[in-house]
Structure 1
């Protein structure tokens, strides 16, 4: 009954408020021109800072869009020009005019480096407005989950905020807040334990995703970089607060006198309802929370200090009871797998982060940044679960209805899983970055030193009860890993980069050097990017470079055989995987239709790969340089405004990524058999080989009442490869056969599809000092079509005559869920 009260109450609020709010809109209009020529600038961006209202200029530089009454800060920008800022007062039912004259940034190409911003036209770069992300219908208000609709990004698990970029694994992405690197937890297995991403969208002024060709200041990963910048707390106090049936949060910011500003944010998520709809029934108790804060202090006219702090506490507890999965082709090929569970699973992690950023302005054309930070994680994973699984063949009853199916038991297994694992991670980092401008050059240089330590305790075991080939029932230990290991090392890096404009061409060459003490390896990463402006509406982009990913905890741990050490490769004899990448792109703005088209094609060549398998979202590595690979594909995106101030887009990606294993040095039969199962030296699909990916985000007003906004978010991805089991006739434990992996990535999971829908009512509650106090009331329907997506397969063994065969049982994700959210901006 309580679940029904939420939508009823929200509907009443909407109905009562509709006639009051329909007249609070005004209009902002004007023209953007070139200061030297007086010509209109097409495609310039006119944006209300701190909000999602805005538009792009037409062919003659004119623009107009509707906006609520109030006082608004406006920013007008275009590539190659200095930004224009002003403040306007918009009155109800009236048109306010603001004309902007932009001056060309001659000799100031270094703005890209000096301000730490990426050019919007740079290849593989997506600028993300966190205020747009918060409007997306998602299970939790999470900025990192909002990246999944961007160019080159794929994802197939709504429980997780992890994603793959252009064929890379979930571990090949870097994350930064204000230039400080942050890290995802290490031991999550299905995404359920992840909770909230560490980037808080309510504190963020902008996010930049580099999907290829990222600058030399970023190093250590192969696929992508997500860089978030937190807004400077200044001016009068302001903030936002929200609550929904799944999560809640608060953010506030403002100035502390003339020289300081502070911002903080709190978040909490208790999404029991979201998990409870899964096929695995049980007592779910997720509890995710974090707190973040920013303190800015202007030390002098040339020096400023920023302190950033973060603490996250995530707990996930599950007492599974039963699970029943029915699958197959009706009516004659239907099967049911039913499992009964006893026991409990408890997982969690605590993350602490603290960083200091000192910014020094060294004259008019030079600037320096120095950072020092510490990042710690303390994770644990415990479970003691016994499961009895039964496989039934479903057969239609002779005298029953077509939907009336008998259960015929075909097999049964008993399995016990035990674990008491923990890992502590501590990473200290110091960094210096230096920027300067000289004529048409914008240069950057930097260094970084990092000390890292992992203390890992692993104690896990799996036993199962089955029959020997002779029919005798026996309980054996199928998997047992025990290790108590400390890993400590250090890394140093240095880089230099120069951005130079030659007419319409912008070239940015750079080189990065990294030294990793663990394997005594020095790597060099030369990179080059280029932007050529054919016209104000069209640009050609390109980038090429070499990227290295130094192996740390995940890659070194490996996947040990029963009875062997979990860290038997900690001898330093392992190289950093390398990716040689090239990407080209086209950006074109259709001024008549106010649409922007992006098209990019890329190719990557991988060497010294450490192969991996994906178990749900946990990446399990081989801990050896055993393969090479490649990725090639193309991404297309069309962005525009169906209604003024509300951007929508559709993205399509085509991807091919394959790997080839090196011939092993060992010649024993088991090693050679494993090599043959991995393709025997032929090219086979990598675990992230998702051929087709489609994402859509649409924003629109309800006809006749623009206080209502509709949001649609759709994700589709074709199936990714997975590996079925195979019986090893020559291996056994206590006369029970051991079943190893079969032919690698020879089958595929089903396609992934989600359609999420949200409707938001904007209500003006009051007017405080010229700024509106607004309530946003939202109803979200997640997975509207109740699509039964599968994130993985589990395998059930059964007999068919004298043969053993395996049945793939899908591990399914969340069903349709209703969520109601209220947000107040003040």
Structure 2
């Protein structure tokens, strides 16, 4: 197969780095009688200014860095405040009152971007992302505690939003779209998320009704911003699951800056705790960098690069799964031979040029390339016994299968290889005039996929080979001998060389105004995409879609701080390669874009309780989906039918209450209700694979009052069960059983030795640390047995199938060490 790896490596040759960015503070200084104070001094280490004759000031401060601001004037007590990190280019208004009697010392608290409230975007603190425990800690771990976001697999970073699947979510890092590997089947193979939490500056998430400036997906947008360093810093995190290190710095002339992160992940702690005894050798590692360089005050160039090499070697030995009831216990006992060797190598590089033409207009130019080289090779023979379990307490054979109801074997083979190259060229522009803002963009994408699928499955039951259930086949044995060649139960062989060219464009308008005494915000936009599918032995097909979208928010002039929102539009999801390939491995270029008319009604209510800030966000939504491409879901593997032969709907209600349940910490409680069904070929509505009806989640932070350096974190999720899937070739209308409810709690404890509130004098061995903590984590605190899929086993005597659950990880303990210099 053609190897494209040299192309993204060209991007890694760029050694461009960045510059010191600034943010702006402005406001008015008043005295105790609300009279402006002219000539008041404002200063911080590195800069300062004075108020004018009207008491107004405007001061530039370093972005992405906490500063100490001091305000003084003769005859008044000074003010000392800590200004938290502000993003580059942002402008914040702070008004201060000088007093004659009391010196004022404190911290300015920024609760979030106002635009996020009116746009219905959830903003998550990067500090919270780094602290909250989880089997796969990071941004996605926190997303799973939000209403409307579901996942029943703690080893996976993938998530479903409001009835969609894992392919329906957009992810951006600094305006650049990022991608995932194609061939991964299970969460334990995934390794690392693209997003490196050590580098994150800001996290924003929209679960639906998002603007036209975002791409063509049906469910959600995750928008990540990476930090731009302003001085030297380094961090190191170690645990039994792996480790990460990051280094950041800025040049002396203030024009160059960069951050580099390296991570390593080892899932054997979880796999070795599961019921399958294995020889398991995972090696998941990546290196990621974000660099910037500013040529002048108007032009800057940045580079985002990532190299990830994930190797997954798996050699199962034995497995025993107990299921059934107390009165009728069953067990599945399997002995394995063979192994699996998977490898995923991804290379990603992106250049972004930003040119500030004027105060009102800025333009961005982005070029990116993504290359993934994947192999999935395995030969595994599984010989099983299914039967009744010995329940004689005290007996030497307690728990063993003593009467076999099913005996058989299964041989699975795969030699799947994929090499994909994706190239993007994009231009974005923003024009501001008074209270109006116009955003537009154009984008070209070229996708070149070389894919070879060689996969088969042979099933034997009690010495008889199970043939595939072909249409029209009748089994008349033993009265009529079957003399045809024995066929595998499942056999896929295909070689595809596919190219897709996409052209995208959007334009949107935003406007802030007053309706009476109420503040209002409007957004309207439209985007379009045209794409062409071609390749060897593929008939060339061209498609085009248009997607109008809009948002409206209003804040009444009430004493109560409340915002009402309505948003939605006609969303489309043109098929990516995986959605073009059907279950036989054939690429079907005629597959059209899935469509969704999406409406979201939202309310944002901010209030104080016990003198502490809280916010309740409520959203009700409805989706009407057409041209639906049905799929099956097994662990994290999605297999499409590659036909637009279904319609579907989804509706629900999401509630989230967050605030300072404990003073000085942020916690939240989430509730979600969802119902989503599909109708395939007019046969009637059945549950979609992501039909997760109820969700409760709690994220809680606390500390010991007598010893505040001891912190406690709790991440708790309850989801009702998903549909359990169906055997190969089976009709999904006949398999509508559900998995058991998903219940999981992860707890973390840490002791803070050093932070910004607990510094040590020079000469002390802890003085060199900016932050230092040690921690202990308990994953699956209550040791719940959660299942992700079913294994269907045939009973040779009753001719029936048993759905044997595949359990996820049990209770696991972890220790970690975190430090920052």
Q: Which residue of 2 aligns with 1:773?
A: 770
CA contact (8 A) 1:611 1:621 kept: yes
Q: Which residue of 2 aligns with 1:253?
A: 248
Of residues 181, 185, 200, the one that matches 1:189 is 185
**1:715 maps to 2:717:** yes
**1:496 maps to 2:511:** no
Q: Which residue of 2 aligns with 1:18?
A: none
Q: Cα 1:241–1:217, aligned 2, differ >3 Å: closer, same or farther?
A: same
Q: Secondary structure at the match of 2:128?
A: helix
Q: Which residue of 1 aligns with 2:543?
A: 521
Q: Which residue of 1 aligns with 2:270?
A: 274
Deviation of 1:582 after TM superposition, in Å, equals 0.3
User: CA deviation digits over 1:20-73, x for unaligned, max 9?
Assistant: xxxxxxxxxxxx99999979xxxxxxxx9979999xxxxxxxxxxxxxxx9964
Q: Which residue of 1 aligns with 2:439?
A: 444
Q: Secondary structure at the match of 1:740?
A: coil
Deviation of 1:743 after TM superposition, in Å, equals 2.6
**1:645 maps to 2:640:** no
CA contact (8 A) 2:66 2:82 kept: no
Q: Which residue of 1 aligns with 2:686?
A: 684
Distance 1:307 1:776 in 2: 32
CA contact (8 A) 2:82 2:107 kept: no
Deviation of 1:405 after TM superposition, in Å, equals 7.1
Mapping 1:563-578, distance limit 5 Å? 566-567=585-586, 569-570=587-588, 572-578=589-595
Distance 1:369 1:490 in 2: 22
**1:228 maps to 2:224:** yes
CA contact (8 A) 2:450 2:496 kept: yes
User: CA deviation digits over 1:202-254, x for unaligned, max 9?
Assistant: 111011111111111112211011111111122x2012111001110011111
Q: Which residue of 2 aligns with 1:122?
A: 118
Of residues 587, 606, 609, the one that matches 2:604 is 587
**1:791 maps to 2:788:** yes
Distance 1:163 1:659 in 2: 20
Q: TM-score, normalised by structure 2?
A: 0.82
**1:703 maps to 2:705:** yes
Q: Which residue of 2 aligns with 1:162?
A: 158
Q: Which residue of 2 aligns with 1:603?
A: 622
Of residues 515, 530, 546, the one that matches 2:552 is 530
User: CA deviation digits over 1:575-631, x for unaligned, max 9?
Assistant: 100111000111111223421101100000101010001011111100110101000
**1:546 maps to 2:557:** no
Q: Cα 1:365–1:424, aligned 2, differ >3 Å: closer, same or farther?
A: same
**1:97 maps to 2:106:** yes
Q: Cα 1:634–1:768, aligned 2, differ >3 Å: closer, same or farther?
A: farther
Distance 2:495 2:108 in 1: 67
Q: Which residue of 2 aligns with 1:325?
A: 321
CA contact (8 A) 1:121 1:541 kept: no
Deviation of 1:140 after TM superposition, in Å, equals 4.0
Q: Which residue of 2 aligns with 1:28?
A: none
CA contact (8 A) 1:222 1:548 kept: yes
Of residues 602, 612, 622, the one that matches 2:631 is 612
CA contact (8 A) 1:795 1:806 kept: yes
Deviation of 1:334 after TM superposition, in Å, equals 0.3
CA contact (8 A) 1:304 1:360 kept: yes
Distance 1:227 1:630 in 2: 26
Deviation of 1:124 after TM superposition, in Å, equals 4.1
Structure 2 unaligned spans of 5+: 1-26, 36-61, 69-79, 97-102, 466-474, 534-540
Distance 2:694 2:720 in 1: 5
Distance 2:430 2:762 in 1: 41
CA contact (8 A) 2:440 2:508 kept: yes
Deviation of 1:810 after TM superposition, in Å, equals 0.3
Q: Secondary structure at the match of 2:708?
A: strand
User: CA deviation digits over 1:507-540, x for unaligned, max 9?
Assistant: 0011111111223112111110111112461111
Distance 1:375 1:132 in 2: 30
Q: Which residue of 1 aligns with 2:21?
A: none
Distance 2:740 2:345 in 1: 35
Q: Which residue of 2 aligns with 1:658?
A: 677
Distance 1:270 1:74 in 2: 35
Q: Cα 1:270–1:38, aligned 2, differ >3 Å: closer, same or farther?
A: farther
Q: Which residue of 2 aligns with 1:751?
A: 741
CA contact (8 A) 2:147 2:695 kept: no
Greater share of residues in strand: 1
Q: Secondary structure at the match of 2:84?
A: strand
Q: Which residue of 2 aligns with 1:109?
A: none
CA contact (8 A) 1:723 1:741 kept: no
Q: Which residue of 1 aligns with 2:203?
A: 207
Q: Cα 1:328–1:83, aligned 2, differ >3 Å: closer, same or farther?
A: farther
Distance 2:606 2:114 in 1: 19
Q: Cα 1:767–1:612, aligned 2, differ >3 Å: closer, same or farther?
A: farther
Deviation of 1:151 after TM superposition, in Å, equals 3.3
Q: Which residue of 2 aligns with 1:151?
A: 147
Q: Cα 1:52–1:604, aligned 2, differ >3 Å: closer, same or farther?
A: farther
Q: Cα 1:707–1:53, aligned 2, differ >3 Å: closer, same or farther?
A: farther
Distance 2:624 2:636 in 1: 24
Mapping 1:256-335, distance limit 5 Å? 256-257=251-252, 258-330=254-326, 332-335=327-330
Q: Which residue of 2 aligns with 1:74?
A: 84
Deviation of 1:774 after TM superposition, in Å, equals 2.0
Distance 2:761 2:723 in 1: 55
User: CA deviation digits over 1:109-146, x for unaligned, max 9?
Assistant: xxx9xxxx882213542112222111111124433333
CA contact (8 A) 2:66 2:84 kept: no
Instruction: Pick which of 420-429 and 791-800 moved more.
Output: 791-800
Distance 1:434 1:404 in 2: 67
Q: Cα 1:140–1:162, aligned 2, differ >3 Å: closer, same or farther?
A: closer
Q: Cα 1:362–1:130, aligned 2, differ >3 Å: closer, same or farther?
A: same
Number of equivalent positions? 710
Deviation of 1:100 after TM superposition, in Å, equals 9.2
CA-atom RMSD in angstroms:
3.1
Distance 1:656 1:326 in 2: 31
Distance 1:310 1:406 in 2: 49
Q: Cα 1:700–1:316, aligned 2, differ >3 Å: closer, same or farther?
A: same
Distance 2:811 2:129 in 1: 21
CA contact (8 A) 1:126 1:209 kept: yes
Q: Cα 1:335–1:73, aligned 2, differ >3 Å: closer, same or farther?
A: same
Deviation of 1:552 after TM superposition, in Å, equals 2.0
CA contact (8 A) 1:172 1:223 kept: yes
Q: Secondary structure at the match of 1:520?
A: strand
Deviation of 1:295 after TM superposition, in Å, equals 1.2
CA contact (8 A) 1:794 1:810 kept: yes
CA contact (8 A) 2:81 2:105 kept: no
Deviation of 1:425 after TM superposition, in Å, equals 1.0
Distance 2:136 2:394 in 1: 48
Deviation of 1:478 after TM superposition, in Å, equals 1.3
Distance 1:345 1:101 in 2: 50
Distance 1:624 1:650 in 2: 39
Q: Cα 1:661–1:740, aligned 2, differ >3 Å: closer, same or farther?
A: closer
